[in-house]
């Protein structure tokens, strides 16, 4: 029987050829993704450049209305988008996963539609008058990741369109169908050539980064790939927003209630089966409550079902690809071999189909162990014991990454005092990874630069223009 997801797939697949995409949970064929060439990219950029002045000429109210219409379209197709996302990316339908991600797409479109950048009077006195205006940049090149392919695409698309830019978007080669389907739905209401996808391999992304008619690159992904994009964009002095890798630290203070925080700690670390840039990647716990926190986390972890995403019972899924599975397995094996204690998990079932890695908690681990200092990006959390808060802060700040961090305490004032000493773009208190479209989000150190979300996010896709008289 043909489903609505099959209908949507039929609209985005090539008539012949293309790259085969397989379900990471079952190995079954999901569909075929078209593969753009550099010539296709050049054509897309030319069309987006031609369409941009007309899009920018529309009023703020018109663009706002179209973003709301785009959100309506996403909601009308929410279930088939979620089903496709689950099959391609692997994340379950339920929990903070596929249906959650599709819902976030419409929520971010609506929130971004309502933000605005009004002209600002800077000087108005006997010396003269100066005003600050925010103009569109032109054509934005968006390069997205495979972990939250739809949601992060909207993070790039929505502010760019809101400010009068057009967008050429290159999805990850691991999850192109999800993004192509999302764009297909959005383009049912958007004007022609305002948003154009160019699915393809890495050379297409590199050509996008170098293209002289791309005015800005927005990228979410690994630090290594981000550095390559920065170099590629340098010759044309492009504006850049780089949301790169994270190895987020969480610090539990001695007054925290282990059982009360355990489930929030778990989801801070294991949302999307740990495949989230701003997930909790290393947890520092004081000696006085170390065993209690470990026990409480094990209790939560062992009741969370993992399996194929289309099974409504599951809330954890597979790793999206074999390469990421190998990284997680290498780091957990190194931790075990070093003498660290595996509290739960750590023993994958090699007879099982799919890229499943069991939910793994690792205790009594050295703070310099590879599982602590390298981003695992999967379902394995190292729990490090500390003696003093100063020691925990030092360890938390010792790495090159600085995307997010968190502090867990019953004393909010004390938690905020500790939070103020952490080097990160965002520090959450008694939660982790709770992004909000109203709150600017970005990284410190090698976790990137530039801000997304809110009015500050609109500024990142705009050219400031001072008029002084």
- CA separation for the pair 250, 299 (Å, rounded): 19
Residue 277 annotated among the catalytic residues of the structure: yes
Q: Please give the structure tokens belonging to residue 244.
A: 């790169």
Query: Sheet containing 360-363: which strands, arranged edge to edge?
Result: 341-344, 360-363, 380-386, 280-286, 248-252, 404-408, 426-429
Q: Among this protein's residues, is 243 annotated catalytic?
A: yes
Q: Which one, of 149, 150, 158, 139, lies nearest residue 209 by Cα? A: 139
Supply φ then ψ for residue 94, to 5 degrees: -100, 175
CA dihedral (345, 346, 352, 355) positive or negative: positive
Radius of gyration (C-alpha) of the chain in whole angstroms: 23
Residue 387 neighbours by CB under 8 Å, 6+ apart? 286, 287
CA dist., res. 181 & res. 46, Å (int):
22
Contact present, 253 and 219 (Cβ < 8 Å): no
Q: Of 243, 401, 446, 452, which is the active-site residue?
A: 243
Partners of 216 in beta bridges: 140, 239
**Residue 420 CA from chain centroid, whole number:** 24
Q: CA distances (Å), 162 to each of 134, 135, 232, 368, in order?
A: 12, 11, 27, 44
SS (H, E, C) 108-163: HHHHHHHCCCCCEEEEEECCEEEEEEEEECCEEEEECCCCCHHHHHHHHHHHHHHC
Q: Which pair of structure tokens corresponds to residue 251?
A: 């610090």
Q: Which of 75, 88, 101, 277 is catalytic?
A: 277
Which residues form the catalytic set? 243, 277
């Amino acid at each position: 029987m043909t489903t609505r997801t099959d209908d949507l797939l039929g609209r985005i697949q090539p008539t012949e050829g293309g790259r085969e995409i397989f379900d990471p949970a079952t190995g079954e064929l999901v569909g075929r993704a078209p593969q753009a060439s550099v010539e296709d990219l050049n054509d897309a950029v030319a069309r987006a450049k031609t369409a941009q002045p007309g899009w920018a000429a529309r009023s703020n109210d018109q663009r706002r209305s179209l973003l709301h219409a785009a959100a309506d379209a996403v909601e009308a197709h929410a279930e088939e988008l979620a089903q496709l996302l689950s099959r391609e990316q692997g994340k379950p339908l339920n929990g903070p996963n596929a249906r959650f991600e599709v819902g976030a797409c419409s929520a971010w479109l609506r929130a971004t539609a309502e933000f605005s950048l009004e002209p600002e009077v800077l000087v108005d006195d006997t010396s003269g008058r100066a005003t600050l205006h925010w103009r569109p940049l032109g054509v934005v090149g968006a390069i997205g990741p495979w972990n939250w392919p739809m949601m992060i695409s909207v993070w790039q698309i929505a502010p760019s369109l809101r400010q009068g830019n057009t967008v050429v978007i290159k999805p990850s080669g691991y999850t192109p169908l999800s993004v192509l389907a999302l764009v297909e739905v959005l383009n049912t209401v958007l004007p022609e050539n305002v948003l154009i996808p160019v699915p393809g391999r890495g050379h297409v992304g590199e050509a996008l980064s170098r293209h002289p008619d791309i005015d800005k690159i927005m990228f979410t992904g690994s630090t290594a790939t981000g550095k390559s994009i920065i170099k590629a964009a340098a010759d044309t002095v492009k504006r850049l927003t780089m949301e790169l890798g994270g190895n987020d630290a969480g610090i539990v203070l001695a007054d925290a209630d282990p059982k009360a925080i355990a489930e929030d700690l778990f989801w801070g670390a294991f949302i999307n089966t740990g495949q989230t840039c701003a997930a909790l990647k290393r947890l520092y716990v004081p000696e006085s409550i170390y065993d209690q926190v470990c026990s409480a986390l094990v209790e939560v972890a062992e009741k969370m079902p993992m399996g194929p995403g289309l099974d409504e019972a599951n809330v954890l899924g597979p790793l999206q690809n074999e390469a990421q599975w190998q990284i997680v397995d290498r780091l957990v094996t190194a931790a075990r071999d070093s003498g660290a204690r595996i509290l739960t998990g750590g023993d994958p079932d090699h007879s099982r189909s799919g890229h499943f890695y069991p939910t793994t908690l690792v205790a009594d681990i050295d703070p310099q162990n590879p599982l602590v200092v390298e981003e695992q990006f999967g379902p394995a959390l190292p729990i490090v014991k500390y003696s003093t808060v100063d020691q925990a802060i030092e360890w938390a700040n010792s790495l090159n990454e600085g995307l997010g961090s968190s502090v867990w305490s019953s004393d909010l004032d004390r938690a905020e005092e500790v939070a103020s000493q952490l080097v990160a773009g965002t520090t959450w208190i008694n939660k982790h990874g709770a992004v909000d479209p109203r709150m600017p989000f970005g990284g410190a150190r090698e976790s990137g630069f530039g801000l997304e979300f809110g009015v500050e996010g609109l500024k990142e896709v705009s050219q400031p223009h001072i008029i002084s008289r």
